[in-house]
Each structure stands twice: as C-alpha cells, then as structure tokens.
C-alpha cells in the first residue's frame, strides 16, 4: 500500500469514528425554519423532486458526494454507492482518483462503475493542487474515461493540505490552472471545497475563469483539519490542526453568497447535510442539487441496499417538507416561506 493509499484508508476510519457533537461549527441550516402550511391543498404523491443534472434526469436533487477510500475498501464502497445511486435515481461523485491516475493502484475506480450505474450522473475527481505539476487536461480525460464520468470535480483543500504532514503547501497560480483546464476540456468542470466553504468572492473568481458548477461544501460537516489532527505524528502538529476546529464558512451562508455572486451558476449545496430537511433548506437558500457524504459512508461500507434505504429516507423527508410547505416541486420549494434565512451583503 502506498503512503497516499494508507492515508486515505486512515481517513475512512477517522470519519466513521467522529461524533457529530465534536463539530464546533454548524451549517447555519439549523437557524432556518419553514413556515408550516396546514392546508397544502394537494396530495403528498403529487410532489415531484425530479430535476436535471449534467444532462441527465434524476429522481431527486441529491448527489452522493466524494468520499475517499484505501485499496482495501474503495472498490466495495464505490460499488455499493453506484448501485444504490442508480436504483434510487440520484447522482454520485467518486473520491480522489490521484493514486489511480499516478499508477499506484486501481483504488476501486473502473468501468464497472458506469456499468452498474448506467442511468445517473457520475463525477470523476482529483485535487486542484495536482494541477501545478500535472498535465491537467490529459489527467482530466484519463479520470473521466476511467469511470465513464459525466463531469470532473476538482477539489480545493488548502487548509487540509496546510495542516497535513507532507501536504501540498504551494497553491500559487491554481486559479489560472483551473481556467486553462476549463478551456482545454470539452466536459463540465465542477469546483468544490472539502468542508470549509466557497465564498461569493471566490465563486465569482471561478465564474470569471469559466467554471459554472460550484459545490460550496460549507462548514458544519466533516472538518478535515480535525481529521488530520487525528493522524498528526507529533503533539505540535496535532495542536496546530486542532486550532481550526471552528474554521470555515457555514453551508447556508456559502450557498447564499454563491447564489448572489453567481446567479446563473449551478450550485451544489453540501457540507453537513444530515437529512432531507437539511437538503430542502439548502434548496431554499439557493442550491440546485444537494450533496451528502459522511451520512452515507457508514451505509456504503455495508451494502448497496443500506445506501439505498438511507437515500430513500432522505428523499421521503424532502418530499414531506415540500408537502408541508405547499411546494409541488423544487421550483416552488426555492420560494417557500421561511425564517432565519442568511442575510447576504449586496456588495
């Protein structure tokens, strides 16, 4: 097992063991309260959550967000996720393909993913830091072809890299590399954070570089500085990482900022989405699609059925939220009456 593979395997163990109450930063979604409609004047069965994402129809606006895994588990995790995603009718994105792209192992990334999920959007993935040393366009096409993907996620994780032993510390000229990648590729590029949020200002920089799909991945979910703190080889490095336990832009605020800054962007709202009600709140704030990761991980280590049941529960929760706000569809949910919405500066 390579050092990168070992690190990714450790990430899985740490995330699975983390308790939600150790997260000091909240998503901000808990402050949003929908106005209950006691007379919805429609049938629950009439509520439609269908939408389109990356040119494919999906049954609900959910994306199983990128997760990592070492060689011993990535194949099982990815297989369970893709089978469940196809059965339920939602999108999914794989974890970083860096190890596979550098020829250090397949890591569970194979054409079988597309074979097992022929009907839903699949997103490939690697880190933005690698664009400084890779031929980005070539690696992007390889990542896409490896799994038959519909789009490529390029993830931003400067804080995680900064506190990680051996992490990528030089992030100069990454924006230019992203712009060059977007120009060179004929498929959609999605830029996402990993849990500390994308602000309106950064979103506008990305939009000006040609990036039209942004996953805010806000604070309130898995904190990767804390994950790296658990792996730190020395007490000093552990304490440095722990300093950032409350760091980041909360998910609700990140979505609102990005929607205000880039009104025409496709926004994926992720970061601490615990259930379908959280997902509905993310849609109300401005997301088009909702990403969930840590909540699916435990089920993904068990079976495709466990993942499907978890997703179906989230879909039921979102559908009932629509019903009890008088929202027949996602467009109506975008405008449902609610209090506690984040206030975004017009500047």
CA dihedral 304, 309, 312, 316 (to 10 degrees): -170
Q: How many CB atoms lie within 10 A of CB 203?
A: 23
Phi-psi region of 96 (alpha: psi -120 to 50; beta: other; left: phi over 0): beta
Mean pLDDT for the stretch of residues 315-334: 98
On the CB side of 245, how many CA atoms lie within 13 Å of its CA? 13
Q: How many CB atoms lie within 10 A of CB 62?
A: 28
- 3-339: CATH number: 3.20.20.70
| Structural domain spans, the chain | 3-339
- Is the pLDDT reported for residue 347 higher than 60? no
Model confidence at 262, in pLDDT bands (50, 70, 90)?
very high
Output the six-digit token pair for 36. 């209950």
Residue pLDDT, tens place only, 165-217: 889 999 999 999 999 999 999 999 999 999 999 999 999 999 999 999 999 99
Listed in order, strand segments (DSSP E) in 209-346 are 213-215, 266-269, 289-292, 338-339
């Amino acid at each position: 097992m390579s050092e990168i593979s070992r690190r990714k395997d450790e990430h899985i163990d740490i995330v699975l063991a983390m308790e939600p109450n150790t997260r000091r930063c909240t998503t901000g979604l808990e402050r949003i309260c929908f106005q209950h409609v006691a007379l919805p004047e429609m049938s629950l069965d009439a509520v439609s959550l269908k939408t389109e994402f990356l040119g494919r129809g999906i049954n609900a606006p959910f994306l199983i967000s990128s997760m990592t895994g070492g060689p011993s588990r990535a194949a099982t995790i990815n297989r369970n996720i893709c089978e469940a995603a196809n059965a339920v009718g939602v999108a999914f994105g794989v974890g970083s393909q860096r190890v596979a792209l550098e020829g250090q192992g397949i890591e569970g990334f194979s054409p079988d993913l597309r074979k097992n999920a022929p009907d839903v959007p699949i997103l490939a993935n690697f880190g933005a830091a690698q664009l400084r040393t890779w031929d980005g366009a070539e690696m992007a096409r390889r990542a896409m072809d490896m799994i038959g993907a519909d789009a490529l996620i390029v993830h931003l994780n400067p804080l995680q890299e900064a506190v990680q032993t051996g992490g990528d510390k030089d992030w100069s000229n990454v924006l230019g590399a992203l712009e060059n990648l977007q120009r060179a590729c004929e498929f959609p590029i999605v830029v996402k954070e990993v849990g500390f949020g994308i602000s309106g200002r950064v979103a506008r920089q990305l939009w000006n570089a040609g990036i039209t799909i942004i996953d805010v991945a806000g604070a309130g979910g898995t904190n990767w500085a804390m994950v790296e703190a658990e792996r730190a080889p020395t007490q000093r490095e552990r304490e440095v990482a722990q300093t950032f336990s409350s760091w980041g832009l909360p998910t609700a605020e990140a979505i609102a900022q990005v929607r205000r800054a880039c009104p025409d962007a496709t926004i994926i709202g992720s970061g601490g989405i615990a259930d379908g009600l959280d997902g509905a709140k993310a849609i109300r704030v401005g997301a088009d699609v909702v990403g969930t990761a840590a909540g699916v991980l435990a089920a993904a280590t068990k079976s495709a059925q466990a993942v499907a049941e978890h997703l179906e529960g989230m879909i039921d929760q979102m559908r009932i939220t629509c019903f009890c706000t008088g929202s027949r569809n996602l467009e109506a949910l975008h405008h449902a009456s609610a209090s506690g919405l984040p206030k975004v500066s017009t500047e």
